Structure 1
Amino acid sequence: MKILIVEDNEKLILELETFLHEEGFLCEKAENVAKALEKVSIYSYDLIVLDIGLPDGSGLDVLKRVKEVDPDTGILILSAKNSIDDKIVGLDLGADDYITKPFHKAELNARVRSILRRKKFEGNNVMTINEIMLDIQSKEVKINGEVLKLTPKEYELLLYFIYNRKRVLTKESIAEHLWEDNIDLADSFDFIYSHIKNLRKKMLKAGCADYIRSVYGVGYKFDLDR
């Protein structure tokens, strides 16, 4: 799962980034409105942790832009203790939840996971699709009841396929989602093929149907009709 943290406090953004990485999330950061708008225009995110009071404007402008380009993105507002109006406006604009500073990391984690469950997994921690069972809390995958051992990247790749199973995914979108904006430094996307090949091989060996379909000239699709 990929998260963008929009926050101008350097100490807090580092703490949030470190904590969310430890919880298994891919994280990027933006310290102001301009940087955040640039990122959401180029990349897609599962969730944005969004401070409202930023040095060059309001985080509400970022919220509005996100809802224009990708309305399914989850939004968790970081608000100051007495900023009731910001919370109300943010929720009216489509934010999913808010958390008031200062907050405990455990509460942040709970709210982040709650939003992702609602947005991606219909409110559940466990998703079952045919012979595949995926637990987003424990990050455990089972095929026909047997645990499938995956690398962290393979797990994130399968997760990305599953919650985008009705869409064709380009190599670029897969690379950006799994390797963050560092992917701009890559010479090619050939390594994507290797990760997909390894994931498919493990799933087939475990007795899973071959759901990962190559779409010529475009990318890949998780196709349950195969």
Structure 2
Amino acid sequence: MGYKKYKKGIYIGFLILIGVIIFLVVRKQKEDKKEHIVTEQLLETQEEHKETNVIEENQSNNESGNQNKEVIQGTERAIEVKTVSLPSRLREGDLIDVRIRYPNGEEYVVLSKRGCHELSLEEGRMTLFLTEEEILRLSSSIVDCVQMEGTLYTVRYLRQQKQEASISNYMPSIEICNLIKNNSNIIGQATSILEEKMRKHLEERMEGWSESAKEERVDEATEWTQSGNEEGTYYID
């Protein structure tokens, strides 16, 4: 009788042990499954964040890049310009305004935020990509400069990514429009006159640069010779 009870106790204990093991295994599987789901959710969230960051970064780069570039509509023509005064610090690709200034001090924006291409400061020329409307406006301003003794010059954008384009507020007078209408050659004639004027002005500036460069070289040579003599070095001509 005692043996049967002992055997029955072992059997019950074995069943309980199996039940406990099954319970632990099932619970472990549930925990693993839950952990796997959480991990997948975290990975998906991270991927979404990465994609969002990439999109935002691309948008930011695009916006920055677009602000730093001139707006091209696709109808522009490449126009070589030699009738505009160029600053010495102008560089290839700079964004500029072309403005007209009259003797009385009034000035207006002829072209707004255009890129400077094929720049040659030595020859006083550059290439601009202009629409037909801008070409006509520039041509009118050239005639205006000759008739009114004005000046065409450029203004460079220092912070090209942040500075907004100026408003083109130059409008040729009725007199200038009539001159162009009645004389089809006047634009070419005015362009030649203004180019010659700009060339003369450029040569005067370059001559001034040359004189300054000569003076600097003479000063440097004098200082170098004096310092050599002070150190006991003598030169025989």
More strand by share: 1
Structure label with greater radius of gyration: 2
* TM-score by shorter chain over 0.5: no
TM-score for the superposition, normalised by structure 2: 0.23
TM-score for the superposition, normalised by structure 1: 0.24
**Relative contact order, higher structure (CA 8 A, sep 6+):** 2
